[in-house]
Structure 1
């Protein structure tokens, strides 16, 4: 290497080292930040964290050679404080409201079900005030938080008992651990599901302490497969609703009724994981039918688990219903405390259950049911206004067309069912679909790319004015 090149490199290294040594201490920056009027409303801990971030970014810039100008200490302090003021002004809450125009109604990444107004009001009340979460107002003694929702759940499902945990995966783990730890649980190979986030039934069963016993094949399982597998170590027969897939063609599965008959003959209970879980006949609202929890209990399942934030239309929760003896065993499990719901979830779930029991027009009051039940003609009626708003906000060059579309329920529910819908297709002769997607995303409008063009599915858009509020001309 030439001497002058090595000399220049050494000089650059010395300059960077000098700049690093000149960086001010955080305490010095903190005093300056606390004297800055723009930062007066922020707490000391927050300012310290933001100053550390700003200083770390400046140090990285110096070490990488992006910042090559040595500065006096006071100048550096001022630069760091100004960067903190800028970052603090732009520091928004992590959770932001977005417009779901993806065509997926219960979109896991976008928070699944939108709560009904009574549930929102119940959450706000519980958040603002002390509540009788585990306090018996009649006796003054300790209460049971399950009692907040148990009566309503039992009334809706016909179950003898019910308990609630923080999601359906937790419900499955808790039920299996309570009823089958160290013993065998028989399940069809065709029901060995994996859903989003790598929830795999074999892994969940292993964590629960239950021993998996697979029977049948991927596409065909018969009653004799279960009967032949039952032994002295069998604790449960498990049926799992294939929430996010369907096996078609040359297939055979054992019905819940047949499984209950097999179990009853051998003194073995049956548990069913319904996944999404429907409390009512959805076909009455123009939605494809899903297994109804009440029917599964009537068919003889000892325990049924399902989600609160899917087809039920409530908050994220895992609901466990069934025979009183089984539910009491589950409630006594020490894991129950680790998986229990907080007051906000229970408030929202209780309000949602009351809607199911009391509402004269459930479709009107429950957003999930209303959105899933919208007809294509109803959606089409708002399409011209939506197209007009989007086209006006985007300006010249953009082409906004009304097209037929297919929506999905989402969150693993009804995987092969498509709901007829209407969408806006947005294109531009000089911009790619990904560029248009990014532009809408910056406006907090989430759509989807289909056939190399950007689409806004209008199923979840009840008022087209939301586009005018969110969308800015790029």
Structure 2
């Protein structure tokens, strides 16, 4: 990276500040836009929105150093109007397809699991037609939307009943509110997790109306800690799978088996929040072990919650399985209606469940499992072609190398597990890793910056032809 003097940096800062101050008000852009044939017939609200977006992009360009060096007010207005006209012509939604080259298989910011083709077809069918969402085709009366997935979930988990809401955090809130509002829920201090977006389990429990009773210490909790804390006010014993961290060293935790035994002796049910929740033994596919929902139900948990869009590989959903009496209380809770899934989610989830039940080659048909199960040798086999495509698109000055890396499962699943992978490392003698990352983002290719260089992790790339796009260069 070229070095600049303090005087030069101060001048650049002053220049950017002046450019920001010179940005024209939207009202001036609106008046100018009326003279543009491509914009003149648009509604004022839509036109204003597109102009605001164009102005924001110009501001971002100035702040990032990609300054178009426009200082004249009329020229700036013209630039904003032309950018808005271009956006209107493209008419792109804000939710846009991107290439996930981060190596994070279940990337929350990029939408987590990619759906199986059969699930996509089911969503399309449900979107195009009226469906029997809550209609009993036999009796002509009102039906139960949970029936669309309940039998399949019970068959896969061994549970006697099931219900579904819009995500696993909602599942935890709803279950606790239904089964423990105003009463105590005992949980190990070492399991008081925080998930993405500073979303903390104690806060979730507080919103549910349940009273948190922490036992043990951060690193060690024993069976007696639970047993001694049980009182007439205890509604549940809660076990939380540490989805996004591990405590190592001098540690001790109470197993679900022990917790169920304590609960049975004192007449208290056990609920477990698995977070990711696997439906099959992942070790058969060379993937590290993750608790299997069926095993947790068989052990005696009254309620188990888990996500639909993590290891399960389906749409965003919070699945609640367990005993009929508990599930019935959850279904009758007025909050259930506020948190319920729509027809598109249920269609995708049902199709995904049918894959688990019927597919003879699940690893081939379910994208999440297929990508997680890829071996480093398989990933390395596509690396030369990927390198050739990227190097050709970037041109002179860029160095594109094939390197060994490790990938992550993501979304709080298997937090310490590293998956062997292969990546393209892209460097340039005059561009920083962040500048290269920004260039790729403009082409909607999302990689990662590591060790002061930009990487395109090929674990999440099955066809290197996705790189055959026009990469912008400065």
TM-score range, shorter chain: 0.7 to 0.9
- Identify the residue that residue 357 of structure 1 maps to in structure 2: 357
- Identify the residue that residue 7 of structure 1 maps to in structure 2: none
Q: Does residue 417 of structure 2 align to residue 445 of structure 1?
A: no
Contact 1:304 1:322 in 2 (8 A): yes
Q: 1:82 to 1:189 in 2, by over 3 A?
A: closer
Aligned partners of 1:436 and 1:449: how far apart in 2?
9
Contact 2:382 2:464 in 1 (8 A): yes
Contact 1:308 1:315 in 2 (8 A): yes
Q: 1:266 to 1:452 in 2, by over 3 A?
A: same
Contact 2:442 2:472 in 1 (8 A): no
Query: Displacement of 1:449 after TM fit?
Result: 1.2
- Identify the residue that residue 433 of structure 1 maps to in structure 2: 433
Deviations 1:248-287 (A, max 9, x none): 1111111101100000011000000000000000001110
Query: Displacement of 1:393 after TM fit?
Result: 1.0
Query: Displacement of 1:216 after TM fit?
Result: 0.6
Give 1:190-229 correspondences, 5 Å limit: 190-229=190-229
Contact 2:183 2:235 in 1 (8 A): yes
2:357 is paired with a residue whose SS is helix
Contact 1:395 1:473 in 2 (8 A): no
Give 1:181-330 correspondences, 5 Å limit: 181-330=181-330
Q: 1:82 to 1:444 in 2, by over 3 A?
A: closer
Higher mean Cα deviation, 426-435 or 296-305? Answer: 426-435
CA RMSD, 1 decimal: 2.8
1:185 is paired with a residue whose SS is strand
Contact 1:426 1:454 in 2 (8 A): yes
Q: 1:227 to 1:68 in 2, by over 3 A?
A: same
Aligned partners of 2:435 and 2:56: how far apart in 1?
32
Aligned partners of 1:57 and 1:287: how far apart in 2?
42
Deviations 1:210-269 (A, max 9, x none): 000000111111111100000010000000000011111111111101100000011000
Query: Displacement of 1:46 after TM fit?
Result: 2.0
2:207 is paired with a residue whose SS is helix
- The two structures have a TM-score, normalised by structure 1, of 0.87
Structure with bigger gyration radius: 1
- The two structures have a TM-score, normalised by structure 2, of 0.87
Aligned partners of 1:55 and 1:248: how far apart in 2?
50
Q: 1:206 to 1:468 in 2, by over 3 A?
A: same
Query: Displacement of 1:397 after TM fit?
Result: 1.4
- Identify the residue that residue 9 of structure 1 maps to in structure 2: none
Give 1:139-154 correspondences, 5 Å limit: 139-154=139-154
Aligned partners of 1:386 and 1:80: how far apart in 2?
37
Q: 1:88 to 1:152 in 2, by over 3 A?
A: same
Q: 1:37 to 1:25 in 2, by over 3 A?
A: closer
Q: 1:468 to 1:265 in 2, by over 3 A?
A: same
Query: Displacement of 1:125 after TM fit?
Result: 1.0
Aligned partners of 2:449 and 2:370: how far apart in 1?
25
Query: Displacement of 1:157 after TM fit?
Result: 0.2
- Identify the residue that residue 331 of structure 1 maps to in structure 2: 331
Contact 2:29 2:80 in 1 (8 A): no
1:459 is paired with a residue whose SS is helix
Contact 2:276 2:412 in 1 (8 A): yes
Aligned partners of 1:242 and 1:311: how far apart in 2?
15
Q: 1:178 to 1:434 in 2, by over 3 A?
A: same
Q: 1:292 to 1:395 in 2, by over 3 A?
A: same
Question: Which 5+ residue runs of structure 2 have no aligned equivalent?
Answer: 1-23, 59-69
Aligned partners of 2:321 and 2:231: how far apart in 1?
26
Query: Displacement of 1:341 after TM fit?
Result: 0.6
Q: 1:41 to 1:283 in 2, by over 3 A?
A: farther
Query: Displacement of 1:398 after TM fit?
Result: 1.1
Query: Displacement of 1:428 after TM fit?
Result: 1.2
Higher mean Cα deviation, 45-54 or 352-361? Answer: 45-54
Aligned partners of 2:160 and 2:340: how far apart in 1?
20
Aligned partners of 1:192 and 1:231: how far apart in 2?
21
Matched pairs, number? 440
Contact 1:445 1:470 in 2 (8 A): no
Higher mean Cα deviation, 122-131 or 370-379? Answer: 122-131
1:197 is paired with a residue whose SS is coil
2:384 is paired with a residue whose SS is helix
Contact 1:393 1:473 in 2 (8 A): no
- Identify the residue that residue 62 of structure 1 maps to in structure 2: none
1:319 is paired with a residue whose SS is strand
Aligned partners of 2:374 and 2:214: how far apart in 1?
41
- Identify the residue that residue 14 of structure 2 maps to in structure 1: none
Q: 1:384 to 1:57 in 2, by over 3 A?
A: closer
1:466 is paired with a residue whose SS is helix
